[in-house]
Each structure stands twice: as C-alpha cells, then as structure tokens.
Amino acid sequence: MRSLLGLAALAAVAALAARPSRESPVPVIAAAPTAQPEPEAAAAAPAPAVAPAAAPATRAAIGDCGLDLSAGDRSVRPGDDFFAYANGAWYGSFVIPPDHSSYGPFNTLEELSTERVRALIEAAAAAHPAAGTPAQQIGDYYASFMDSEAIEANGLAPAQADLKRIADATTRDALARLFGQPGFASLFDLDLPADLRNPDRYAVVISESSLGLPDRDYYLKDDPQLRALRDKYVAYVAAMLTLGGSADAAARARDIMALETAAAKVQWPIEKRRDVEATYNPRTRQQLLSLAPGFPWAAFLESAGLGARQELVLAELGAIRDLAQLFGRTPVATLQAWLTFHYLSAHASYLPRRFDAAHFAFYGGALRGQPEQRERWKRAVDDVDAALGEPVGRLYVARYFPPESKVKMLALVGDLLAALNERIDGLDWMTTATKSRAHEKLATFTLKIGYPDEWKDYSALVIRRDDLLGNVRRAAEWHWNYQVARLNKPVDRAEWQMNPQDINAYYNPSNNEVVFPAAILQPPFFDPNADAAVNFGAIGAVIGHEIGHGFDDQGRKFGPDGGLEDWWTPQDARVFTARTVRLIHEYSSFEALPGLKVNGANTIGENIGDLGGLNMAYEAYRISLHGAPAPLLDGLSGAQRFFLAYAQVWRSKYRDGALRELVMSDVHSPDRFRVNGPLPNIDAWYEAFGVQPGDKLYLKPEDRVRIW
C-alpha cells in the first residue's frame, strides 16, 4: 500500500535501487583488544612471503588495523564456515538488544546516527526558531511526537475526520478516491519515478500494493508457523477495529483476511516482481480501462492529482487486472473496514498508547520476535527523518561529515571503477562488442558521496507542535504534491533517494549512479586510520557491490544513459544467464531456518552484487600495492585482512521471526550467506586461507561462478 508519507519508490527497479548495502540488519562490532591468531589459524591460512610492517601510526577505531580479532572462532576451519571463523565468538556471546529483531554493524551506526540526530533536533528546538524555518519544523515535529500526554488526552479526535471520510465512502468511486490519497491504504501503488526507457522524463507507474503481512507467501504457504501467524494477524485486525469503535470487529477481521488472501493469490511472486522488463508495460489510460474495467481509475487518478495523465506504465499486468476485479466484487462494507483497519494500523504511533501497543504486539512481537519496543524518542527521530530528511541531513553533514571524507571516498570509488575496467578486459566469456559497451556504461557512472549538492525547500510545509497527526498528513501531502508538480519537467538527476544520516547506499539504474550517504562512511565500513586491506574489504566491497548492481541480472539491461535497452550480443546474454543460473542454484541450497531455504532467484541481483563487489575490491586493493608485497599486520597477510574485514561487516544475529521475514520478503540473502556464498567462488580466498578439497565450502575451480 502507499507509504504513510506518500514517498514514491522506484517502483519497477526497487530491487536494484533500494537498500543495496544495508541489505539486512546486522550485529554490533565494537572495538576490542587485539589478539594474535592462534597457531591453528596460521597453519590453516599460510600467508605469502611478505615483509612485516608496523601498524598505522594513528590507531584505527577497531583493533590495531581495523579488525576485531577477538570476534572469530578459530576452532572452525575457514574453509568449513568462514562466517563462523571470522565472527563465531562474537555470535556465540552476543545478545540481541530487546528493542531489536536483529543486530549488526548497520544497527550500531543507526543507533549512533539516531543519537546524533536527536541532539541536533533538540538543539534546533531549544533555539526558539522563527516559524517556517527548518529548525522550527524539525523541532516542532519531534516535540509533537514526544508529547505522549497530549496524544492520550486527544484520544481518537485527531483521526475522526479521516475515519469519517472512510465511513462516508459508500460508493466505489468514493473508495477509489481514498485509494488515491496519501495516508490511506490502496490495492494499487502509484509511483512517479524516471521512465525506465526514457530516463529524462518522469512516468506514472501503477503496481500492485503491499498488504498487511510482509509478502504473499505469508497468506498462501501451508506452514504451521505461518498458519499460527495468520490467526494472530486476524486477532490483531479485530483488536485494532475494536479500539477504533467498529461494530462486529471479529467478523470484519475475517472479511479483511479473506480480501487480503484473495489479493495475495493474484499478486506476482517476489522473484517475478524483480524483472524490469516484465514490469515495464506502457499503456494509455484507455488501454488501462480496457485491461482492468472493474476499478474506477478516473476517480483514483484524479484524487492523486493525475486526472489529466494519459500515458501510464503498468507493472504487474495480470495482478492489476485481477485486483481490479477483486475490488469490483468485494462488498463496499468490507472495503471500508479494510481502509479503517489499515488507517488505524499505519497511524498507531500517533494515536493513544493502546493503539501503539497493539501494533507493536503483532508486528514487533508476533511477527519478528522482538521483546521490547524501541524508545519513543528513537521512533520520533525516525519519523522526523522520514518527513524532513533533508533539513535534518543538512544539520548532520555540517556537524559530522568533514570534506576530507568525501575526497577519500571519491578516490576509493575511482579505484573500484578502475579495477572493474581491468576485470572487464580480462573476461574470457564476453565478446569484444559487449565489452566495449560495458566500458562505455562504466565511464558514465555518476558518483554521489555524502549529501546532495542541492537541498529541497520545505518552507511550504506547515508543522505545528500541537498537531502530530496533522503534521503526518501534511508531510505526506507535501511529498506527494512535490512529485506531482514536477511530473512534466525533466528528471532531477541531482535528487537523492536517501538522507545523509541514513546508514545505507544504493545504485539507481535510471541515473546510472552510485550513492553513499555520509553516515555510512564510518568504522567498521570506512576508517581513514585503518589498514588499506581492511578498508578495501569493508567499504570497498560495499562500493563494488553498488557498482555491480549496474551489471547484475537487471541492472545490465540499462544502457549508459540510464535507459532500458539491450546492449548485449545474444551470445553474451546466454553465457551471462547460464552463469547466473549456477549462482541461483548455489544460494537456493542455503537453509536459513529448518525447512526454509533462500530464494536464489529472488536474491540473485544482490548475490551478483556481492560477488562482483568482492572481486572488484580485491583487484583494487591489489592494484593499490603497485607491485609491492602487502605488509604483515597482526600476523595476517593483506589478503587475509581483506576477507576478514568483509566477513565482519556482515556479522549479524537475527531472531527467528525477523530471519523468516527477510528470507520470504526481501531481495537480500541472510548475512551469513553473504559471507559463505560469494567467497567460495573467489580463487584468492582459497589461497589466503589454505582452503582445500574436503572443506565444506570448497568448490572445484570449474564449479566456481565467475561473472564480473
């Protein structure tokens, strides 16, 4: 369904552009006393003959050279389970904080960023800024979220106008109008990204929407745990309707579950939704009406401010047709109840405590196994970031992102691009014609580091200290109207899809760009005082991963200008596809939980990104040595430090519910497999750690997947 803030995702390329580096939650990585490797480790991992060198003069934030050498389990052979070899001691002793469903380095930095942003927000608010200034908007939005007493005293009064709109929507046209409004649920998503084939102009994309459970398989799989979760979901729906004052809440909840189950049956499987060609279907408005006549499209589009739009892009054609039919045969009363439930559920954080507690009990507790809810101030910071991300980001970079960090990152990215250029030249499976186009695409990559060069103007957004729900609604409308207003203008290629304070990164195929917000450029990902091998293995592999998305199974379909085009020879496309199929099979064998295996077809883009990113980063590190031997630090060769740094970036721990959700509804593999999956396909890893036939991760040279 539409996000609460109405922010348009890159609908048809979400799998490419969304969360490429923060591919899943991960565990804490703290500085620890440096320890020498045990003799067995040295025996299992012979280092090449190198000249010993001293550690960097300025101490790294973690250990002496940037590695936490106390984290690994040296009783494990690196060739049997490299994730455990690098992280096993940490994994065995670490306890996930009660307010998290999973934890790792990303979460550590997210917590740090949240604390920093809170201080910035409170300082801004304390200065008593003038009305309409960014400081006033940020401070008053935060204050309105934190005023729990006012929220309790107001009860449901702030929501009554919206709930009345739902109650008054007694015709299908009226319901469709609500579907088109920010802040209300819908069976259809509306997004306004760059057009995939014409990246200099915006498109109106209609796609299937998400439902109350994470993905369609939660409704459809005959699994005891999922059946139990479905029962709890129905109970949650009934509880929320009861809190909202609905009559016959239990019966309405069953109707809502039946509606969502019927919707899930016609929605596309998650792996099919990744296919940018299958989900790019330009149609006129008249063609949409012919395809899916059961839905009041004119009312829907007019309500969204798109009443005059004649050119559209449809994503999941069959699902859109069938969902329109489902809408047409579902009783109006059921659709009203569905809208009411999702309105209350989506706005639970802004309503009295009983709503918030019920929402967390299901989504935090029952779904993800999280014992405690995050403190309200942390959730307040998240909400301010979502509504006013760039004004907050502007404060963040002024305080926490020195210019020299951007310079160093640009140099690192340049090293990775140079390494990929060399690797393309060395590919033995690609023809000269396709290599030439690959070089052309690489040469046009845009780099965005730290923060936008131009900041959005939020001055028209009205934020009031005593009107939390109003702030949420006005922010949603501001973001949506901002996009509608520019729809007929050239694409703003300077725009960012993330905030500087986000612990994340992404590749955007329509802009052919890699983007690294300021907040991720910290240890353990990037430390200017860490050893070069560690930085290349950590942030270098992340950079390489994002660059690699431009050449994964979907990103490779975009040309140098960002447009969807086939620039491959048929022979190269066949060879590439055959190699990706092998990688799909490899990951599909990984079991995350008993009976639950990774969906290799769904995660293939991210897995290609990991494998290609590692290869690029290692090549860049090798080039950076200029032919000199790598120094020996902490008893480890450069190659060993590189691969250990990579593994420690992905050390993580999940609660079972969170891991199940990741496997069933996310395009990323669990972090253990992001380590043990790509490394067995890299020859240098075998050499660095003496991996031999008979080791559990060992692959014969001819069985190793070599793509980029």
Looking at residue 560, the DSSP 8-state letter turns out to be T
Q: Which domain holds residue 415?
A: 26-100+402-450+523-703
Whose CA is closest to 10, among 491, 674, 469?
A: 491
Q: Please report the pLDDT score of residue 443 as a whole number.
A: 95
Q: Please report the pLDDT score of residue 56 as a whole number.
A: 44
- Helix (H) or strand (E) run with residue 206 in it: strand 205-208
Residue 550 lies in a domain: yes
CA 374 vs. chain centroid, Å, equals 20
Q: d(Cα 501, Cα 382) in Å, to the nearest integer? A: 11
Whose CA is closest to 102, among 681, 600, 655?
A: 655
Q: d(Cα 248, Cα 227) in Å, to the nearest integer? A: 23
Q: d(Cα 15, Cα 602) in Å, to the nearest integer? A: 9
R_g of the chain, CA atoms, integer Å: 26
> Which two tokens mark 411?
């140099």
Q: Please report the pLDDT score of residue 161 as a whole number.
A: 97
Residue 125 lies in a domain: no
- Give the angle subtended at the CA of 39 by the CAs of 37 and 40, to the nearest 5°: 100
User: Domain holding 574: CATH number?
Assistant: 3.40.390.10
Within the chain, which residues score under 50 in pLDDT?
1-57
pLDDT digits (tens, 9 = 90+) for 670-707: 999 999 999 999 999 999 999 999 999 999 999 999 99
Residue 190 lies in a domain: no
Number of structural domains in the chain: 1
Residue 393 lies in a domain: no
pLDDT digits (tens, 9 = 90+) for 40-71: 222 233 333 333 334 444 789 999 999 999 99
How many angstroms separate the Cα of 367 from the Cα of each of 232, 512, 662?
A: 9, 36, 11
Q: d(Cα 382, Cα 349) in Å, to the nearest integer? A: 12
Q: Please report the pLDDT score of residue 12 as a whole number.
A: 33
DSSP per residue, 316-328? SHHHHHHHHHHHH
| Range list of H helices, 195-306 | 217-220, 224-243, 249-266, 270-273, 285-291, 297-303
The one-letter amino acid code at 495 reads E
Whose CA is closest to 430, among 57, 93, 707, 159?
A: 707
Residue 281 lies in a domain: no
> Which two tokens mark 462?
């009205």
Burial category of 641 from C-beta neighbours within 10 Å (exposed 0-12, middle 13-18, buried 19 and up)? buried
Whose CA is closest to 503, among 100, 52, 103, 112?
A: 112
- Give the angle subtended at the CA of 9 by the CAs of 3 and 10, to the nearest 5°: 160
* Pairing of the two strands 205-208 and 102-103: unpaired
Q: d(Cα 379, Cα 583) in Å, to the nearest integer? A: 38
Residue 663 lies in a domain: yes
Q: The whole model's pTM is what? A: 0.90
Beta bridge partners of 596: 593
How many angstroms separate the Cα of 704 from the Cα of each of 339, 677, 683, 687?
A: 50, 11, 9, 14
> Which two tokens mark 550?
């431009």
Residue 236 lies in a domain: no
